[in-house]
Structure 1
Amino acid sequence: MAKKNKDGEMPNAHLHELFVDELKDILGAEKQLLKGLKKLADGAHSDSLKEAFKTHYKQTEGQIERLKAVFSSLDMTARGKKCKAMEGLLNEADEILEEFQDSPEVLDAALIAAAQKVEHYEIATYGCLVTYAKLMEHSEAEELLAATLAEEKDTDVLLTEIAMSEANLGAAK
């Protein structure tokens, strides 16, 4: 719940406005990503990469629920907005799928690069949101957002492992 000072005003009102705007943006981004992850899983050739995309799809569903809980903790209705950054990243992934469809050994490496761009965007966003929540003493939101941040970092590490053990090696042949 948003805290107010003794005058009934919310301290850091501008930061709170930014926080809510970023929450709406990342909620929209996560919903957009669900569609993108299906395409990535369908396009991947490596079983481990397909599985990583499918696992992250399930995580993303949970992250959307967590974001709804963040909104609820602020006594707000969860509403997302179209995330232009995610739209661009997913458009780039679509281009990669088309451009490298005839070269499966390179396609997996390219899909990992595209997916890691998405992960890095999410890591940056959730990192900021955790900081904002902490500054405004929204402890429940901070905890929920930190859990998602940890998942995003874990996914990035997993993608790096697949790239280094399989995909990039195959592409280099």
Structure 2
Amino acid sequence: MAQKALEDLFYDLLKDVYYAERKILKALPKMAKGAHDPKLKAAFEKHRDETEGQIERLQQVFEIFGKRAVSKNCPAIDGLIEEGEEVLEDFRNSPALDAGLLAAAQAVEHYEIARYGALRTWATMLGLKDAVKLLDETLQQEGKTDHDLTALAEASINAMALKKAA
């Protein structure tokens, strides 16, 4: 068996993230529908639209890399999405539902930030300048989404869960 190189690792992670984004795209409408807070619903809907663009950018990265856009099962994102679905089920009528959904969404964001950071670094090392730009655009977008979710949690969502539960 031939020894694998950074190019192989890059391609492997690219397939993983492509799978993850497509799964996230399917999960976000469910989260938006389940959320009670209008601002949280809007945040999930906005991220759904952004995710469509992120998938398109990933397809461009595959093209730049000279490979077909294919996905590879990602147990990590499957688990994170399953946790979000459990929150929807277990806290359906709870005042803590939105706080739980927001926390689940942030877990997904943190996963994406870690993956896009690695891909951007490796694309730089591999001399894929056009891919670096695309990956960086998505990485910045994911960071902003995480920041916005934190602000929403701190401004109202977490306090409302606590206040209603008291």
| TM-score tier (shorter) | over 0.9
| Cα deviation 1:24-72 (Å, max 9, x = unaligned) | 0000000000111111101100100000000000000000000000011
Code of the residue aligned with 2:108 in structure 1: it is V
**Structure 1 counterpart of 2:127, one-letter code:** E
Q: Deviations over 1:56-108 (max 9, x none)?
A: 000000000000000111121111112111100000001000111111x3100
Residues 13-34 of structure 1, C-alpha deviations (whole Å, 9 max, x = no match): 6111000000000000000001
- Alignment coverage as a number of residue pairs: 160
Gaps of 5+ in 2: none
**CA distance in 2 between partners of 1:166 and 1:36 (Å):** 23
Q: Which of 70, 94, 114 is the aligned partner of 1:124?
A: 114
Aligned Cα root-mean-square deviation (Å):
0.8
Q: Return the alpha-carbon distance in structure 1 between the equivalents of residues 74 and 50 of structure 2.
A: 19
Q: Normalising to structure 1: TM-score of the pair?
A: 0.91
Percentage of identical aligned residues: 49
2:22 aligned residue: 31
Residue 100 (structure 2) pairs with residue 145 (structure 1): no
Structure 2 residue corresponding to 1:53, chosen from 44, 47, 51: 44
| Equivalent residues in 2 for 1:65-80, closer than 5 Å | 65-80=56-71
Q: Which residue of 2 aligns with 1:10?
A: none
CA–CA separation in structure 2 for the residues paired with 1:101 and 1:167 = 15
Structure 1 residues 93-112: aligned runs within 5 Å: 93-103=84-94, 105-112=95-102
- 1:168 lines up with 2:158 in the alignment: yes
Residue of structure 2 equivalent to 1:5:
none
Relative to the length of structure 2, the TM-score reads 0.94
Confirm whether residue 135 of structure 1 aligns to residue 125 of structure 2. yes
1: distance between equivalents of 2:93 and 2:46?
26
The list of structure 1 runs, each at least 4 consecutive aligned residues, that deviate by more than 3 angstroms after superposition, is none
Q: Which moved more, 1:76-85 or 1:115-124?
A: 76-85
Cα offset, 1:162, TM superposition: 0.8
Q: Identify which of 27, 32, 50 aligns with 1:41.
A: 32
The amino acid that maps onto 1:27 is Y
- Indicate the structure (1 or 2) with the bigger Cα radius of gyration: 1
Instruction: Report the Cα distance in structure 2 between the residues aligned to 1:42 and 1:79, rounded to whole angstroms.
Output: 29
